[in-house]
Amino acid sequence: MKLELGNFHVKDVRFGDTTHYAEGILTINKEEAIAHVMEDEHITHADIFIARPGEEKRIVPVKEAMEPRCRVNGKAVFPGVTGEVASCGDGRTHALKNTSVLAVGKHWGSFGDGLIDMSGEGANYSYFSTLINICLVADTDEEFERHEQQKKNKALRWGAMRLSEYLGNAVKDMEPETMETYELEPVSKKADDVAKLPSVVYVMQPQSQMEELGYNDLVYGWDANRMLPTFMHPNEILDGAMISGSFMPCSSKWSTYDFMNNPTIKELYANHGKTVNFLGVIMSNLNVALEQKERAALFVSNMAKHLGADGAILAEEGYGNPDADFIACYAALEDAGVKVVGMTNECTGRDGQSQPLVTLDEKANAIVSCGNVSQLIELPPMKEVIGELAALGRDGLSGGWAGDEKLGPSVREDGSIIMENNSMFCGDQVSGWSKKTMKEF
């Protein structure tokens, strides 16, 4: 499998008469772009705003993010979702780098939505403050979930994917400015010098806890709650096979953008044949019942063992109940002789004094912490809000609240906010972006 990612490095995004890309500038015909979004009859209103790094802008409630791309062969960027089910990870895909398309609620937020600040202290908490964000701000007629704390957000998520493909097509027939090539030989056909290196597999646990379909991450359009652990080529993840869901406190979330640009996969590629023999990705799942958790851990450990893995990087999307899956998988891998490094965040309470994970095991002795979801964050007002700031405290965003006896409301009258890290959009960046560190006192 050989994936070529042709990159176009965007310096700015503007509105104009036609949608095109030239000399680092992406120009968008807003009316035409919105027409693609409005193809869904459930979307009642849509607009597009631009948020650049350093601008005094706050974006909330953010539901999803993806990179604008097109597949040169004309097939869907997100197979099984925006087009027919078809293998991906092979061939050429063009990408508009330094940008993302954000799905943002015009009014109503939910448990899995978050906040992005484009400047100030808040910008340090989310990777997306470093990108030029093309914000699709929209509302829908989905009354059945308008006031629900947990929303599927399907119309807005799918609308953002259509917008992403529309923008990506601006560079479909152009020659890329730079090219990334990802090629990984089959497990059984490694060169001798590569096969002698420590063999490593990347185990991903995307969110799949909801038994009702429509909330979970998708694999080629298939709800991850329905799947058992599966071996995948890393190129598939980088090339649109994985779509983010809408169920997860937001700092723990892996957006579709995170799947498409997964830093851990890229780092393993960079070291393949040098310090490690990168075998590929085991795409696992997160479950509710204990028996399901144990079964998934068994599948993962057996798969890793038979692939010949010496080591594994294990990452979970979430915290709380998923910690049991994380630790069960960790212990099963260690019992199979596979040395594990775990990547996750913690829920240690606002004071940082609580147990970091719901369950622990002595075998889990090498874990990279990506932050505390309950950490309190206070931020000053921003000049402009894209979306609706009231959603943070009103609509059950996992890190916000309408009122607190000691702290008051999350959204204050002057526009300043206090909230838990939980509400930072993909803030803990367990996929590998995180720049957080630990301090000793």
Domain positions in the chain? 2-423
For residue 353, the model assigns a pLDDT of 84
- The yes-or-no verdict on residue 196 having pLDDT over 90 is yes
Scanning the structure block, which residue is given the tokens 């009231």?
390
For residue 116, the model assigns a pLDDT of 98
For residue 411, the model assigns a pLDDT of 97
Residue 63 token pair: 């539901």
Diameter of the chain measured on Cα atoms: 66
Burial (CB < 10 A; 0-12, 13-18, 19+), residue 145, is middle
pTM of the predicted protein model: 0.96
Taking the C-alpha atoms of 145, 150, 155 and 158 in order, what is their torsion angle to the nearest 10 degrees? -170
Burial (CB < 10 A; 0-12, 13-18, 19+), residue 196, is exposed
For 10-42, write each residue's pLDDT tens digit: 999 999 999 999 999 999 999 999 999 999 999
Cα–Cα distance measured from residue 236 to residue 234, given in angstroms and rounded to the nearest whole number: 5
Amino acid at 400: G
- The yes-or-no verdict on residue 421 having pLDDT over 90 is yes
| Res. 149 pLDDT band, cuts 50 70 90 | confident
More confident residue, 439 or 166: 166
Check residue 240 and report its DSSP letter. T
| Res. 147 pLDDT band, cuts 50 70 90 | confident
For 244-281, write each residue's pLDDT tens digit: 999 888 999 999 999 999 999 999 999 999 999 999 99
Computed over every residue of the chain, the mean pLDDT equals 95
Cα–Cα distance measured from residue 195 to residue 135, given in angstroms and rounded to the nearest whole number: 45
For 338-371, write each residue's pLDDT tens digit: 999 999 999 988 888 888 899 999 999 999 999 9
Taking the C-alpha atoms of 189, 191, 193 and 195 in order, what is their torsion angle to the nearest 10 degrees? -10
For residue 441, the model assigns a pLDDT of 64
